[in-house]
Amino acid sequence: MDPYLVEALAAQVDRAALSGETLTMLSAEHGELDLHSAYSIQRASIARRLGRGEKLCGMKMGLTSLAKMQQMGVHDPIYGHLTDAMILEPGGALSLSGLVHPRVEPEIAFTLKADLKGTPSPDEAMAAVGSVHCAIEVIDSRYTDFKFTLLDVIADNTSACRYIMGEGYAPDDLELGNLAMKMDVGGREQRSGTSAAILEHPALSLARLVAMLSRCDEGLKAGQTILAGAATAAVHIAAGDRVEVEVAGLGSVSFSVES
């Protein structure tokens, strides 16, 4: 894809995230959109955020369900970037102002104590983890009528919006492979699952992210946060909701939703 077009589309994506305006599917208007150009648009839109003073603080994984990957005909999850403007403090309030299709997912998050690059094994990836957290991700697709392809989602930074992390726990004391996870949304919807739904094991998700980044000669840095992926389907949120996620061995975290 022409670099000027990449920048123009990144500006559209960035403007939608800032203002809450909707986007027409990029793939519908640009048949040349492919995986490489979708990630190029994502990176260019993140560069705009950083240019305004936001700081890159981590990465997120998406499409970490093996069944979903098979359904979509892909062999890798997808990833997006996290900035400090996306952080919501535990117990805080999320305003729906400027959001389009907000939904929440229960997650497990890692905070790194060492850099990670190359193609580590899951054990090698976990050796770089300083703490593990119960987490919630708020996703918000900006596409009109909630219609998009996988490439559109990647270009839109995998719908990244906000994230909330609970208390950190030392990874050495935890067996992360099959932790029970529960999410309650406003007392009206509940979801339950296990950490095994996150690419069969959250450590596999972390290692896969590093390997995917290595193809672009990139890696992860000490101090960064990594959202490993969702354990259940996402749930729509509305004003007045209180969202709480509980993970066995990792406590719970919550926030409220305001108009």
Model pLDDT, residue 24:
94
Mean pLDDT of 189-215: 97
Residue 173 has a pLDDT of 79
- For residues 210-221, give the mean pLDDT: 97
Q: What is the DSSP string of 158-216?
A: GGEEEEEEEEEE-GGG--GGG-EEEEEETTTEEEEEEGGGTTTSHHHHHHHHHHHHHTT
Amino acid 209: pLDDT: 98
What average pLDDT does this structure show over 206-218?
A: 97
Residue 26 lies in a domain: no
| Domain span including residue 254 | 56-258
- Tell me if 116 is assigned to some domain: yes
Q: Is residue 83 part of a domain?
A: yes
Nearest to 233 by CA among 68, 69, 81, 58: 68
CATH number for 121? 3.90.850.10
- Asked if the structure places residue 44 within a domain, the reply is no
Q: Which of 40-54, 62-76, 179-193, 234-248 has the lowest mean pLDDT?
A: 62-76
**Residue 10 in domain:** no
Mean pLDDT of 151-178: 95
Asked, for residue 62, whether it belongs to a domain, the answer is yes
pLDDT tens for residues 2-35? 999 999 999 999 999 999 999 999 999 999 999 9
Rounded mean pLDDT of 148-173? 96
Q: How many domains does the chain have?
A: 1
For residue 50, being part of any structural domain is answered with no
Q: Could you tell me which of 209, 250, 232 has the C-alpha nearest to residue 82?
A: 209
226-240 pLDDT, tens digit each: 999 999 999 999 999
Average pLDDT value over all residues in the chain: 96
Residue 51 lies in a domain: no
Q: Is 68's pLDDT higher than 90?
A: no
Section 148-170 average pLDDT: 97
